[in-house]
A and B are shown apart, each in its own frame.
Chain A
Amino acid sequence: MAHSHDSHSSYHGTVKGYLTGFVLSIILTVIPFWMVMEGDFSTSVKFWTISILAVVQIIVHLKYFLHLDFTHEGKPNTLAFLFSALIIVLVVGLSLWIIYESNAMMM
């Protein structure tokens, strides 16, 4: 088992990596909360900004906390995630599209 400790350090990260991820995710959390609570922007600007910041924050978490990458060790997890993400976009996106279109048609 001795070999296993150094060989996949990317799996459990470094202090620097966690701190970077933490600082980035604080920034990416504070901005959308501030925008919605205090910010004087139009609704559509707020909607798209908080959506984009959420996606960026998810990527930050995946990279720094869940250690997804395209190295030999990280690749299987990353590919499994990308496939799931595709299914999620289909499930959520198409559900919303279909239901709201059908609602609009029945108005």
Chain B
Amino acid sequence: MTTQVTYPANAYPVPEEEHHDPGENTLFGFWLYLMTDCLLFASVFATWGVLYFATDGGPGPKDLFELDYVAIETAALLVSSITYGFAMISAHAGRKGGALFWLAVTFVCGLVFIGMEVNEFHHLIAEGAGPQRSAFLTAFFSLVGMHGLHVTAGLLWMIVMMIEVSKRGLGGKTLTRLGCLSMFWHFLDVVWICVFTTVYLMGAL
């Protein structure tokens, strides 16, 4: 057993090496979590697709969904994506006031989205098209509701981040956390693209 390469004692990579920013590890780890979340969404999308025609004689997608309403929801979420982007740019430039302002704008957009979604659910249930009506509606409420729950979690997280930024400023750890929330928020927007395409637009065809 001979090895051709011998390392000097100090040549082994050590975790504290300068270019090894722990914040980047956190961001990568959080991204991997989001990928597992993707798979969760994928299985619910598959369920939605499979149960699409299982309306049990009850209302189907054409009877239930209003596209102009969904278009406004979509717009709120899209705008919240770019305002979060501006929050990140302000945060990395060290502008605390700007970051807080854009986080607040993002929060309001997200709140509009969730408010509209809860209102839509309320109307559907009041019309007798609740999740217990048919397998199709169970799949609808599971899919759209799960996305809504994620957005709600993102909003709660955003409140925590606004408090953290205003109390502690924009230190390295805070920036990393803002970066994780950024990925979470933009990821939810990507999921929403799939939702409005496969649920609402294809439902109206």
A interface residues, how many (CB within 8 angstroms): 50
CB-based contact B89/A80 at 8 Å: no
CB-based contact B186/A92 at 8 Å: no
Q: CB < 8 Å: which of A3, A11, A100 contacts B27? A: A11
B14 at the interface (CB under 8 A from A): no
Q: CB < 8 Å: which of A18, A33, A99 contacts B50? A: A99
Q: CB < 8 Å: which of B31, B35, B82, B187 contacts A22? A: B82
Known: A22-B82, A47-B202. A32 touches B197 (CB 8 A): yes
CB-based contact B78/A25 at 8 Å: yes
Q: How far is the CA of A28 from the CA of B72 in the complex (A)?
A: 15
Contacts of B172 in A (CB 8 A): 1, 4
Contact-residue size bin, chain B (C-beta under 8 Å from the other chain): 35 or more
Q: CB < 8 Å: which of A12, A21, A43, A100 contacts B205? A: A43
CB-based contact A66/B186 at 8 Å: yes
CB-based contact B190/A13 at 8 Å: no
Q: How far is the CA of A95 from the CA of B42 in the complex (A)?
A: 10
CB-based contact A22/B78 at 8 Å: yes
Per-residue 0/1 for B56-98: is the Cβ within 8 Å of any A Cβ (1 yes, 0 no)?
0000000000011001001100100110011011011000000
Shortest beta-carbon distance, A39 to chain B, in Å?
11
Contacts of B182 in A (CB 8 A): 12
